[in-house]
Amino acid sequence: MTTLNNRKLTIVLVALVVVYLGVRMVRVPQREGTLAIALVDIDTASVSEIKLYPRAANGSELVFTRSAGGWQVAHDGVTASADSNAVKGLLASFLALEGNRVVTEQAAKWDEYKVGDTTGTHVVVLGKNDDTLGEWWVGEAPGQGSVYGGGQSYVRKANDDKVYSVDGYLYSQYNKGFASWRNQSFLRLAESSIAGATASGIRSWRLERDSTVWLVDGEKVDSAAVARYIRRFASMNFAEFADGFVADKPADALLTIHGAQGDLASIQAWRTSDSTWTVQSSYRPEVYFKVDDEKFDAEIVPTVSAWSEN
């Protein structure tokens, strides 16, 4: 009797294994086939224009245009040089963008995944002769990952009700306002080339290197503090622009940066409110930026006391 029961159990077990393997053979390939759903795959060399409607800009249009000198970005009548790294990242996302699953096929649920006509960040990619190379909406998957990796985003293609889950946190990469896409560089100098600086206007001093120490108006100051100040000139960026500013009077402050063989650059600054300044550098004289008092004091024209030796 025991032998018979064991034989029945063995037969049942074998049958279950066969059924399991059969299901795996039928269903798993189908499921795994959905792990790489091609959504967008654009030859970036063929892209001549990108139209972006980010939620961060309330859905207003940003237009990126490729030119011989690089990418330009335009918004609300203002055309500016675009941040080349940001545009490269955007273009890179057009290559082999793949969904890993369909989260809904119902248009009524688009807004739930932030890919609706008014709730998503809309992307239109154009080639030569204004041919549409791709069009889609990107939505946010809250609380997941970051722009550097991990997490999920949602994508809906034009003329498709389906919403797809996509690996990577694309939402923050696409959903940025005009200023974030602009070239924010203010000054670029080789730190080793800087031999001194002269301030005039609301503050007046002369900073110069004497062998291994720094002097202000002939007095020794904290060289480490000065070195930190000088180092900022190598890669100085500002994020807020002063579009439309007209310099109708002399600058309230002027900083001239010297090299061993002559002047390297200059910065002009105008007091525009009790706590803000509009600044311009000779590196990009056509662009004006806004800075607050704290940034002005720390990075542009400090008081001499900022370098005093303790």
Which of residues 181, 213, 232 is at a domain's end?
181
Q: Give the pLDDT of residue 31.
A: 40
In a domain, 56, yes or no: yes
Considering the domain architecture, whether residues 233 and 165 belong to the same structural domain is answered as no
The angle formed by the CA atoms of residues 47, 53 and 56, to the nearest 5 degrees, is 130
47 and 169, same structural domain? yes
Beta strands per DSSP E along 13-95: 37-40, 49-53, 62-67, 70-75, 78-81
Query: Strands 62-67 and 70-75, how do they pair?
Result: antiparallel
How many distinct structural domains can be found in the chain? 2
Vertex 121 angle, CA 165 and 173, to 5°: 75
Closest CA to 245 of 280, 294, 282, 292: 280
Residues 80 and 163 in one domain: yes
Residue 28, in any domain of the structure: no
Q: Is residue 12 part of a domain?
A: no
Residue that is last in its domain, among 158, 181, 204: 181
pLDDT at 11: 54
Q: HSE on the CB side for 174, CA within 13 Å?
A: 31
Are 193 and 296 found together in one domain? yes
pLDDT for position 300: 97
In-domain check, residue 236: yes
Looking at the domain assignment, is residue 18 inside a domain? Answer: no
Among 134, 159, 181, which residue terminates a domain? Answer: 181
Same domain, 53 and 159: yes
Look at residue 29 in the predicted model and tell me its pLDDT: 39
Residue environment code for 99-134, b if the CB has 16+ CB neighbours within 10 A, otherwise e = beeebbeeeeebeebbbbeebbbbbbbbbeeeeebb
Query: Do 119 and 156 share a domain, yes or no?
Result: yes
Q: How far apart are CA 237 and CA 256, in angstroms?
A: 18
Residues 116 and 192 in one domain: no
On whether both 80 and 103 belong to a single domain, the answer is yes
Torsion of CA 57, 60, 65, 71, to 10 degrees: -10
- CATH number of the domain within which 253 lies: 2.60.40
Task: State whether 168 and 203 are in the same domain.
Answer: no
Q: What helix, strand, coil percent values describe the chain, rounded to 5?
A: 30, 35, 35
The pLDDT value recorded for residue 197 is 97
Same domain? For 261 and 125 the reply is: no
Q: Which two tokens stand for residue 109?
A: 């649920």
Within a domain: residue 274?
yes
Q: What is the pLDDT of residue 284?
A: 97
Same domain, 225 and 161: no
Domain assignment present for residue 257? The answer is yes
Q: Of 215, 177, 183, which Cα lies nearest the Cα of 196?
A: 215
Question: Are residues 245 and 157 part of one domain?
Answer: no
Mean pLDDT by 10 residues, the chain (310 residues): 53 49 43 67 95 93 95 96 95 90 94 93 94 94 54 91 90 92 97 96 95 92 94 96 95 97 97 95 97 96 88
pLDDT at 207: 96
Q: Which helix (H) or strand (E) holds 231?
A: helix 223-232
Quote the pLDDT of residue 308: 85
Q: Is residue 122 part of a domain?
A: yes
Residue-number span of the structural domain to which 73 is assigned = 37-181
Q: Which residues contact 42 (CB under 8 A, 6 or more apart)?
A: 94, 95, 125, 133, 134
